[in-house]
């Protein structure tokens, strides 16, 4: 089925003559011995291998999304160079006459030395700058021999008054092509104008598996190529390279840095896994909850102290208060939570628990609808589910306002000046949870 789908997308043009082939095949094979089908792992491997045609084409949000964008893609290691062609888009097919060609950097990596299903792949990446705000661009990637189709994306507007939305998903991780595909496609259909998609870690199950990354790219299809990604690594993006590596020597997915172009404005040691993005009146801070929690706390304090945005969203993988485990994350509670409270962070978007929980720590000095720190959310988007635990929040002074289990969920968050609207939907498109935040005279009110 997986192979069939891939073939279908690449070879649509032969669809019309398929019945004729089928008839000939039946005629000649009648009475002959049936061929042994290929092993499924062999099919999956063949299907995920890079080609001369660019694939895995993905946009990454840049530090200033009004004027910049990251673009990455993958090919087989056949060609020396790769470039992006980009132009302001319009309704005529001649928009490309004014396109600009920009060469990308290339990293060739042989993941077959680490993984059974590995390949030699060339990963191309570039951050394109000096774009115009609030402008629709068309781009394609490739080289002189093979180019992708033209994709479109819109840069962020520079107005603080225009409402805008973004999507947030928890772990895709398991049954990515089988089940995450319907989730991410429903999310796109619900908010096609989303400015970016936040992935709160564990995008795949095996950090270095290019077949799993291929599932993630195929499940999202052109959504990855048209809506910028903001992603943080989960524990499943840190694994030992191969069976010969020491058990405790876990390293970041070998594909992470070559296949994304996240801002490099975080601590050097955590390149492209800890960074921030500045919308006109929103700061998104991506944290790496796998390591260096204390050191990131120091960096976070500086970033939050200099933050002049009205709204602040943090995202990281391991939740401060667990939805499915009877625990809190002691290090995050100790080093990050006090900063979230001191600097009025509005939302903490998390993953890891394969269940849903949404709640907050209340400010005892004010009425209960006033927050002490962010609204904390744990959510899951892929197919692996854990049952809810009754503990994990209350023991740490937090209150759950909504909980859920055995549901694939995505969230749409809309910011409109002083108000933030949050909606969580199931993979079948039904509203599951919602709340609103409103800022008045420096205080955030929580309408739960």
Beta 443-447 vs 431-440: how paired, if at all?
Answer: antiparallel
Kindly state the smallest distance separating residue 272's Cβ from Fe ion, in Å: 19
**Nearer to Fe ion (CB atom), residue 235 or residue 405:** 235
Kindly state the smallest distance separating residue 348's Cβ from Fe ion, in Å: 16
**Nearer to Fe ion (CB atom), residue 235 or residue 414:** 235
Could you tell me the two tokens for 165? Answer: 């939305």
Question: What residues contact residue 412 under an 8 Å CB cut-off, 6+ apart?
Answer: 165, 166, 167, 187, 190, 191, 194, 422, 423, 425
b (16+ CB within 10 A) / e for 317-342: bbbbbbbbbeebbeebeebbbebbee
234 near Fe ion, rule: CB under 5 A: yes
Kindly state the smallest distance separating residue 204's Cβ from Fe ion, in Å: 11
Kindly state the smallest distance separating residue 248's Cβ from Fe ion, in Å: 17
Report the candidate in 403, 393, 343 with the shortest Cα–Cα distance to residue 373.
343
**Nearer to Fe ion (CB atom), residue 200 or residue 347:** 200
**Nearer to Fe ion (CB atom), residue 56 or residue 317:** 317
What is the residue-wise DSSP string for 52-89?
SS-EEEEEEE-SSTTT-EEEEEEE-TT-S--EEEEEE-
Q: How distant, in Å, are the alpha carbons of 152, 196, 434 from that of 227?
A: 9, 5, 23
How far apart, in whole angstroms, are the C-alpha atoms of residue 297 and residue 304? 10
- SS3 of residue 298 by DSSP: helix
Report the candidate in 39, 110, 38, 107 with the shortest Cα–Cα distance to residue 74.
107
**Nearer to Fe ion (CB atom), residue 210 or residue 353:** 353
Kindly state the smallest distance separating residue 143's Cβ from Fe ion, in Å: 37
Residue nearest to Fe ion (CB): 352
Kindly state the smallest distance separating residue 236's Cβ from Fe ion, in Å: 6
Q: Which of 352, 358, 400, 423 is the binder for Fe ion (CB under 5 A)? A: 352
The burial of 87, by beta-carbon neighbours within 10 Å (0-12 exposed, 13-18 middle, 19 or more buried), is given as: middle
Q: Which stretch binds Fe ion (CB under 5 A): 133-141, 351-359, 398-406, 417-425?
A: 351-359
How far apart, in whole angstroms, are the C-alpha atoms of residue 156 and residue 90? 17
Residues 188-227, one symbol each (x = binds Fe ion by CB under 5 A, - = not), give --------------x-------------------------
**Nearer to Fe ion (CB atom), residue 114 or residue 202:** 202
Kindly state the smallest distance separating residue 321's Cβ from Fe ion, in Å: 15
**Nearer to Fe ion (CB atom), residue 352 or residue 400:** 352
Q: Which of 67, 96, 190, 235 is the binder for Fe ion (CB under 5 A)? A: 235
Q: Which stretch binds Fe ion (CB under 5 A): 70-78, 207-215, 350-358, 397-405?
A: 350-358
**Nearer to Fe ion (CB atom), residue 125 or residue 392:** 392
Please list the residues that pair with 128 across neighbouring strands. Answer: 69
The residues of the shown chain that bind Fe ion, judged by CB under 5 A, are: 202, 234-235, 352
């Amino acid at each position: 089925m997986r192979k069939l789908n891939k073939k279908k997308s690449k070879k649509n043009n032969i669809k019309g003559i398929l019945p004729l082939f089928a008839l000939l095949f039946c005629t000649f094979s009648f009475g002959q011995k049936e061929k042994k089908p290929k092993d499924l792992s062999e099919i999956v491997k063949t299907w995920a291998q890079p080609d001369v045609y660019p694939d895995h084409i993905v946009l990454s949000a840049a530090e200033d999304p009004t004027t910049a964008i990251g673009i990455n893609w993958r090919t087989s290691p056949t060609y020396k160079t790769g470039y992006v062609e980009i132009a302001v888009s319009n309704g005529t097919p001649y928009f490309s006459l004014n396109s600009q060609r920009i060469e990308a950097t290339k990293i060739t990596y042989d993941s077959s030395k680490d993984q059974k299903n590995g390949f030699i792949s060339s990963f191309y990446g570039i951050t394109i700058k000096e774009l115009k705000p609030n402008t629709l661009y068309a781009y394609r990637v490739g080289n002189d021999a093979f180019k992708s189709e033209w994709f479109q994306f819109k840069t962020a507007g520079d107005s603080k008054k225009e409402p805008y939305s973004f999507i947030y998903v928890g772990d895709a991780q398991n049954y990515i092509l089988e089940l995450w595909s319907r989730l991410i496609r429903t999310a796109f259909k619900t908010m096609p104008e989303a400015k970016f998609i936040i992935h709160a870690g564990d995008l795949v199950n095996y950090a270095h598996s290019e077949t799993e990354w291929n599932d993630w790219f195929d499940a999202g299809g052109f959504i990855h190529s048209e809506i910028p990604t903001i992603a943080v690594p989960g524990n499943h993006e840190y694994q030992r390279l191969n069976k010969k590596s020491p058990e405790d020597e876990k390293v970041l997915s070998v594909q992470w840095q070559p296949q994304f172009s996240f801002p490099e404005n975080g601590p050097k040691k955590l390149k492209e896994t800890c960074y921030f993005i500045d919308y006109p009146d929103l700061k998104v801070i991506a944290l790496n909850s796998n390591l260096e929690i204390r050191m990131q706390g120091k960096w976070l304090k500086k970033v939050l102290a200099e933050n002049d945005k009205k709204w602040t969203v943090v995202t990281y993988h391991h939740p401060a208060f667990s939805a499915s485990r009877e625990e809190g994350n002691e290090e995050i509670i100790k080093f990050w939570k006090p900063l979230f409270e001191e600097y009025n962070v509005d939302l903490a978007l998390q993953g890891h628990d394969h269940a849903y929980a949404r709640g907050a720590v209340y400010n005892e000095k004010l009425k209960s609808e006033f927050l002490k720190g962010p609204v904390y959310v744990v959510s899951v988007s892929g197919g692996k589910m854990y049952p809810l635990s009754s503990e994990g929040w209350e023991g740490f002074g937090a209150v759950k306002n909504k909980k859920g289990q055995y549901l694939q969920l995505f969230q749409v968050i809309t910011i409109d000046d002083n108000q933030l609207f949050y909606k969580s939907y199931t993979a079948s498109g039904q509203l599951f949870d919602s709340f609103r935040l409103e800022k008045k005279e420096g205080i955030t009110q929580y309408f739960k």
